[in-house]
Structure 1
Amino acid sequence: MEPRNVVVCCDGTSNEFAKDLTNVAKLTYALVKDPERQLVYYHPGLGTMAAPGFPMPIGNRAARIAGLAFGYGIRDDLRDAYVFIMNHWRPGDRLFLFGFSRGSYTVRALASLIRMYGVAMPGNAALVPYAIRMLWGLGGDDRKVRAKAYDQADQFKASLAMADCAPHFVGVWDTVSSVGWVGSPVSLPYTRTNDQITIFRHAVAIDERRAFFRTNLFQASSGQDTEQLWFPGDHCDVGGGHPEAESGLSKYPLEWMAIEARSGGLLIDEPRLAEILGKGPPGYAPARPDAKLHESMAWYWRPAEFAPKAHWDNATGKRGLRCNMFRRRKMLTAPKVHRVAWEIPGYSARLPADAVCV
């Protein structure tokens, strides 16, 4: 049998196929769906489905609040995506993972889960929650618990995993630094760096300032094909989700990701891609440098700027607490920035002097 693409798309918190589509939903629409060539899985994101036992619509509201605040449901999202891969991936297939916001964190955690435990043989769905619990055990500070979890991971992989499965392409829009808004419940291994990923692409928002949307940059391994490109705008100016008429800026990171993934072997329905990029029939906004540049720091987000939140201190190598205090995101030395930043009148003054136009 010919190798296929197995594609997993995880949307951001409280996003789904609705009026205001994210870039994950738009890319999913533009993918070729063919059981012989490319299988596609889409998950709407944390906080969109009703909690078990809750009536509708109360359950939807409860799930949304819990998903936004605490990351409720991420283990279920991981389980569902992993089971899809377990049931459909065959040795030789190429695995593509896409996500936005906490959906980006979900697919990076999924890549971590695969690195630690491999892909189990089909029919072992009952064991997947066990593997996820072990992964969470690796995210704590207790060294004995972590050592035991690593040993269990090796045993799980040796006993149940098929031939090595490694993500071929991981494409994410503006990954956030934690699962839930309240605290950082876990710090999972291999979400910040993972040398099993062949190609990694990350579109990052320059102008997002909210404390609960701190960026989570990827650290490349030696020789790894990675690129993290900064784009003007807030979280949804990069990952999509603003009203379509105001989504012109989000089309730049959408098109960039589609081109990068297509170069990596992703099968794209070109007329549909042109449609969502606003180059086809009316209905979708085109990419425009004069499109609305959104400000996400609304009044109801401001109190959170004064609340201490866990963060990783690179200087000490330890976790600490810090108030965000409306800080702008810190860009790395010589950051790669999309060319549209120089096409927006006056915008380039916000960029560091060593920014590289791409």
Structure 2
Amino acid sequence: MQSPTFQQELSSPPVINGYPGVPDIPSSPTLGSQNGAIVPPPHLQSHRTLVLCFDGTGDQFDSDNSNVVQLFSMLVKDNPAQLAGIGIYTIPQIATPMMAKISKIVDMMLGNHLDAHVMGGYEFLMQNYEAGDKICIFGFSRGAYTARALAGMVHKVGLIPRCNHQQVPFAYNMYSRDDPQGWDESNAFKKAFSIDVKIEFVGICAVGLIPRRLPFTHANDSIKYFRHALSLDERRVRFKPSTSERPNEKDRCRVKHDVGQGNDVEEVWFAGCHCDVGGGSVENNTRNSLARIPLRWMIRECFKAEVGILFRQDMFKEIGMDPARLYPRVLERPDILYHSPCPPTQCSLKKRQDSKAGSNSASIYSDFVSEELEDVADAISPMYDQLQKTWKWWILEATPQTIFYQDDNDNSNVITCKINMGHGRYVPRQNRDGIKIHRSVKIRMEANCLKDGKYK
């Protein structure tokens, strides 16, 4: 199989309303249109990649899918070099529709079925893993915590051989125990029955309600690359930022495993609320939204890490990316494009089409020029605050809630109780360590025509 070729589609950049002109943006020939082209070429991969994607609680495949579904749709699914699986929200079989609905609502609030989702992902790995495979896990909202828990379970109890389905609940029970006997038993179980497996890449967006703290969900040395997109503007008390914690020596000594190279952790903050970072707040064919920015960032990180995930070349322009800037080498991003007063919300390259009956993605995205221009239009898109849209969330805001966090001074785990009442979120470790804020936040801060006024 030959390497994909990127065909030049643009003769000259169109005029952008509100801009004096389009700067010369360095670019390779872009966006080949051959059906079936794959980036990177699979024949260059020396390993197989297992990709697991976990969506959030209540996020079923519908007209406003999350970034996890968008990412999964970009994956190659018919090549032996890659095996992909997605976990859309499901609940165990319930006898009546009414009880099923009640069970779903309770799980959205309390996470009663988290164990089922983690064990489902574990069984996928158990049945499909072969020596030399690279494991990549993605998640949004509750699915982000599921992704962390699955990686933690593989780290603590190892991966048992395929077809041992009866052992999975037992292995999960040992993983979830945090008492001394549980740690001793999990080490013995791992030594007797399991293989020690590393996780190549974990990419998560905006962790949602956390039902309970499980081992190695906040610090896991077995993950080689950990990428986390966080929301700057989410206010709900049960959606507090769950940043990666520094592993302490006590946890390191509890689990016996082969010593490998250290993990690479990067957590970046983005403008917007929960679904503005993880997706799901706008209709699928909406051209611009805040959620497209962290999706592009996550995919770029996959290429930087060279994990070997295979993507469909024809899907990149739908999210506002040029694959020629990602492969064979990830190119440096040009300078930010932002102007004041800001351009129209649609940032028209020509009149952009909204999702209409009969329109297809090829026509909607045919005017793609560069990721930098997409950043401008996405960065000034509307924000969706659930405390303004749904009054029911205020029940939790007015109720005392238990909060877990790691102390900035001594890294100790702290448990406290508070009534939030819609206050803005606290960004941990910003004073001592500093934090990474995506450059698109500056574009939004410079804009003068946002519907809700100046972004601060």
What TM-score comes out, normalization by structure 1 length?
A: 0.86
CA deviations on 1:311-354 (whole Å, 9 max, x unpaired) are 12544744222222322222232221111111114579866xxx
Bigger helix fraction:
1
Is the Cα–Cα contact under 8 Å of residues 246 and 292 in structure 1 kept in the other structure?
A: no
Q: Which secondary structure does the structure 2 equivalent of 1:40 belong to?
A: strand
Match of 2:362? 281
Is the Cα–Cα contact under 8 Å of residues 220 and 226 in structure 1 kept in the other structure?
A: no
Deviates more, 1:321-330 or 1:220-229: 220-229
Is the Cα–Cα contact under 8 Å of residues 97 and 170 in structure 1 kept in the other structure?
A: yes
For structure 1, the residue ranges without an aligned partner over 5 or more in a row are: 139-145, 180-185, 352-358
The whole-number CA distance in structure 1 between the counterparts of 2:440 and 2:101 is 38
Query: Structure 2: which amino acid aligns with 1:293?
Result: M
- Structure 2 residue corresponding to 1:202, chosen from 228, 237, 249: 228
Match of 2:163? 123
What TM-score comes out, normalization by structure 2 length?
A: 0.68
The whole-number CA distance in structure 2 between the counterparts of 1:110 and 1:314 is 21
Match of 2:96? 55
Match of 1:292? 382
Match of 2:154? 114
The whole-number CA distance in structure 2 between the counterparts of 1:252 and 1:276 is 9
Please state if 1:241 is matched with 2:280: yes
Match of 1:267? 310
Q: Which secondary structure does the structure 2 equivalent of 1:41 belong to?
A: strand
Is the Cα–Cα contact under 8 Å of residues 177 and 183 in structure 2 kept in the other structure?
A: no
- 1:46-195 paired onto structure 2 within 5 Å: 48-49=90-91, 51-56=92-97, 58-138=98-178, 146-162=179-195, 164-176=196-208, 178-179=210-211, 186-195=212-221
Match of 2:328? none
Query: Structure 1: which amino acid aligns with 2:270?
Result: F
Query: Structure 2: which amino acid aligns with 1:54?
Result: A
The whole-number CA distance in structure 2 between the counterparts of 1:213 and 1:246 is 27
The whole-number CA distance in structure 2 between the counterparts of 1:347 and 1:166 is 44
Please state if 1:325 is matched with 2:421: yes
Rate the CA distance shift 1:53–1:341 in 2: closer, same or farther, 3 A: closer
Rate the CA distance shift 1:239–1:72 in 2: closer, same or farther, 3 A: same
Query: Structure 1: which amino acid aligns with 2:229?
Result: A
Is the Cα–Cα contact under 8 Å of residues 240 and 425 in structure 2 kept in the other structure?
A: yes
Match of 2:296? 255
Rate the CA distance shift 1:282–1:323 in 2: closer, same or farther, 3 A: farther
Is the Cα–Cα contact under 8 Å of residues 296 and 319 in structure 2 kept in the other structure?
A: no
Rate the CA distance shift 1:290–1:347 in 2: closer, same or farther, 3 A: closer
Is the Cα–Cα contact under 8 Å of residues 177 and 215 in structure 1 kept in the other structure?
A: no
Question: How far 1:248 moved relative to its partner?
Answer: 1.1
The whole-number CA distance in structure 2 between the counterparts of 1:236 and 1:247 is 14
Q: Which secondary structure does the structure 2 equivalent of 1:344 belong to?
A: helix
Deviates more, 1:111-120 or 1:342-351: 342-351
Bigger Rg over Cα: 2
The whole-number CA distance in structure 2 between the counterparts of 1:159 and 1:87 is 19
Deviates more, 1:277-286 or 1:20-29: 277-286
Identity within the alignment, %: 30
The whole-number CA distance in structure 2 between the counterparts of 1:104 and 1:233 is 17
Q: Which secondary structure does the structure 2 equivalent of 1:75 belong to?
A: helix
Is the Cα–Cα contact under 8 Å of residues 445 and 455 in structure 2 kept in the other structure?
A: no
Query: Structure 1: which amino acid aligns with 2:118?
Result: L
Match of 1:142? none
> How many residue pairs were aligned?
333
Question: How far 1:86 moved relative to its partner?
Answer: 0.5
Match of 1:26? 70
* Higher relative contact order, structure no. (Cα contacts within 8 Å, ≥ 6 residues apart): 2
Match of 1:309? 401
Is the Cα–Cα contact under 8 Å of residues 12 and 100 in structure 1 kept in the other structure?
A: yes
Rate the CA distance shift 1:130–1:223 in 2: closer, same or farther, 3 A: closer
CA deviations on 1:73-105 (whole Å, 9 max, x unpaired) are 111111111000001011111000000001000
Deviates more, 1:242-251 or 1:166-175: 242-251
The whole-number CA distance in structure 2 between the counterparts of 1:110 and 1:228 is 19
Is the Cα–Cα contact under 8 Å of residues 380 and 447 in structure 2 kept in the other structure?
A: no
Question: How far 1:69 moved relative to its partner?
Answer: 1.6
Alpha-carbon RMSD = 2.5
The whole-number CA distance in structure 2 between the counterparts of 1:249 and 1:161 is 42
CA deviations on 1:94-136 (whole Å, 9 max, x unpaired) are 0000000010000100011001111100011111111112222
Q: Which secondary structure does the structure 2 equivalent of 1:281 belong to?
A: helix
Match of 1:340? 440
Question: How far 1:276 moved relative to its partner?
Answer: 4.1
Rate the CA distance shift 1:80–1:314 in 2: closer, same or farther, 3 A: closer
Is the Cα–Cα contact under 8 Å of residues 277 and 294 in structure 2 kept in the other structure?
A: yes
Rate the CA distance shift 1:66–1:300 in 2: closer, same or farther, 3 A: closer
Q: Which secondary structure does the structure 1 equivalent of 2:109 belong to?
A: helix
The whole-number CA distance in structure 2 between the counterparts of 1:120 and 1:261 is 27
